[in-house]
Each structure stands twice: as C-alpha cells, then as structure tokens.
Amino acid sequence: MKTFLKSKEMSIAVIVLLLAITLTFVSPVFLTADNLLDVLKANSVIGILAVGMTLVIITGGIDVSVAAVTSAVCVIMGKVMLVMPDNMVSLLLIFLIAPVLGIILGAINGFLVSKIQIPAIVVTLGTMSIINGLVLYITNGQYLNSTSFPKIFIDFANFEILGISIIILLFIAIAIFTWYILKYTVIGREVLAIGGNKDSAVRVGINFDKVQIFVFSYMGFLAGIAAIAQTAYTKAVDPNGLLGLELLVIAAVVLGGANIMGGRGTIHGTFLGVILLGIVQNGLILAHISTFWQKVFTGAIILLAVSYDQIQYKRAKNKLSKIEVEA
C-alpha cells in the first residue's frame, strides 16, 4: 500500500482529482454522471488501443500503425456487414473477424521487428503508410453509415447495463483482462522481465523474438476490438476518422507513467492516463476554448509529463549511483 501511495500512478490519480475539482468550478456540467460517462465513452477506443500500446512500450517498442490497422479493420468489417443477415450469428462473426484481422496485421509488424530486426518505429511507419493508402484506395475516401448495417449491430452499439454503455464496459473488460495477463501469465511475466532488463531476461532463457511477436499481435488483436468499439460509437465507417489517433494513444500511455524508452508501464497507470487525457479535452471544450488551443494544451501537458518523468528517472539513477560509489 505504501509503495502504491508513492508511485507515479498515485500522482496521476491526484492530478485527475484536482483537475476534476477545478473543472467543476469552471463548468457545473462537468461533474454530472452523463458528462463523465460521455468522457469515458468518447475515449474508450483510445483506451483499448492504449492498453495494447502499454505492452509494446514496456518491451522498448512503439507502434504508430495502430490507427491505420483499426481503420482497415473498420472498413473490412463495414464491407462484410453489408452482406450479412440480421441475426446473432452475424454479430458473433463480427467479433471473430475483426480481432483475427487485427492479429494478422499486428503479427506482420511483430515478424518484421523480431525476425528481420528492423526498428519498430520504421516497421510501423511503413505499414501505417501502406495500410492508409490501401484503405483510401479501396473506399475512395467514402464512408458507410448505419443504414447499411444489420439492426442487431445497432442494437449492440446502443446496449447499456445500469446506464453504462457497452463500449465503456468493453474498455474496462480489456483493461482487466490485460492486467491479468501481465500479472498472472507466463508470457506477461516475460514481457515485464524484458522491460526490466532485456539482456538478463534473454540470458535466463526468455525468447525475445516470441515476446515481440506476441506484443505486436496482441496490439493488433486490440486494434480489432477497437474497430468494433469505434464503429459502434460512430455508427459509421469513416476511412479518415482515425488519422493521427496513434499520437493520442501513445500520449495516454506516457501520461500513465510508462517510459517511452521502455522498461516501465502499468495497465492501471494507462487507464488513469486515458482518463486524464479525456478530462483535459472535455474540460477545454466546456471552458469554450478554441479547438486549436486544445491541441496546444494537450501537447504541453504531454511534454510536461514526459519531462517530469525523465527528471525523476535521472534523479533516481543518480541517487543509486551515489549509493553504489559510497558502498
């Protein structure tokens, strides 16, 4: 308990709380249940992708193709729904097709990074450009709206449990599931081990290539789930709708306390990072601040968070070095 109270995640939780109190004075609408649920719902797609990105970043990688992969799955899913009958089997097929497509695209990234040993940033920049180009070529930039979708999918998109949208519940379920993988499974412990010290992990027999393929495939799997959530949220498929989203995904993970260079990151930290990012954006809207300034504020917060994290990391490293010298 004492460790948690001193952790980076606790600091983020305090910032979220203070920001929420401040915004309540700026706009009484902020602290209403409807607005808070809207914030969570609007950021659920970012949250699902950020959970997967956490694993990639822990191992020292980065995936800037997540928005492109999600868009591609959205488009394919939308095309498939045009010819699907309106029944439960169709809905189940959507939940099968979307993740499988995501896993395939993610595994390609993982294979190129691990087996060909191309830096992750280069691989994912390349696949992002290829996928975005193909998506725009196939769709010609046109989007599909809800009139083309089976009614059962629209019913799913509107489904709520105790007033909470299924999209929010999907995000929470993914976060809990991924936390369980990291904490209680062998592959999860291998991810954390490589994040802690890659050379030591390899020396004790952990297969680095296998872990790399896993984290990128899992990222692709969550991109498929995010595609379902995105289509359910917008009730449309817009080929250009997710352009640039990868930056917000990475920002949420970094705000949640992950080290962009790898080695550190938690699911609950990422969850708090997503909430912090959502609250900032929602607060700026409620304060009637221009959308241009919203981007400036968001960027400034990200820079401050990363700078603070790096300063703290260097201080801890210097303190450890002094202890070793004195010993």
**For residue 237, what is the DSSP state?**
E
**pLDDT at residue 6 tops 90:** no
pLDDT at residue 323, rounded to an integer: 57
- What confidence tens digit (pLDDT) does each residue in 82-116 have? 888 888 888 899 999 999 999 999 999 999 999 89
- What confidence tens digit (pLDDT) does each residue in 232-241 have? 999 888 888 8
**pLDDT at residue 284 tops 90:** no
Q: Are 40 and 53 in contact (CB under 8 A)?
A: no
Tokens for 28, please give them: 């009484």
Higher-confidence position of 159 and 308: 159
What pLDDT band is residue 47 in, cutting at 50, 70 and 90? Answer: very high
Residue 257 gets the label, from left (phi > 0), alpha (psi -120 to 50) or beta, of left
Q: Are 286 and 23 in contact (CB under 8 A)?
A: yes
**For residue 147, what is the DSSP state?**
G
What pLDDT band is residue 270 in, cutting at 50, 70 and 90? Answer: very high
pLDDT at residue 197, rounded to an integer: 81
**pLDDT at residue 31 tops 90:** no
pLDDT at residue 321, rounded to an integer: 61
pLDDT at residue 191, rounded to an integer: 92
Measured over all CA atoms, what is the biggest interatomic distance in the chain, rounded to whole angstroms? Answer: 73
C-alpha closest to that of 75 among 141, 157, 151, 170: 141
- What confidence tens digit (pLDDT) does each residue in 159-175 have? 999 999 999 999 999 99
pLDDT at residue 258, rounded to an integer: 85
Locate the domains of the chain by residue range: 2-320
pLDDT at residue 320, rounded to an integer: 62
Mean pLDDT of 208-213: 92
CB neighbour list of residue 75: distance below 8 Å, 6 or more residues apart: 135, 138, 139, 237, 239
What pLDDT band is residue 322 in, cutting at 50, 70 and 90? Answer: low
Mean pLDDT of 154-159: 91
CA distance 72 to 129: 12
Mean pLDDT of 176-197: 91
Q: Are 235 and 157 in contact (CB under 8 A)?
A: yes
What pLDDT band is residue 199 in, cutting at 50, 70 and 90? Answer: confident
SS3 category, 165: strand
CA distance 34 to 59: 37
pLDDT at residue 165, rounded to an integer: 95
Question: What are phi and psi for residue 160, nearest 5 degrees?
Answer: -135, 150
Q: How is domain 2-320 classified at the architecture level of CATH?
A: Orthogonal Bundle (1.10)
pLDDT at residue 313, rounded to an integer: 67
pLDDT at residue 98, rounded to an integer: 95
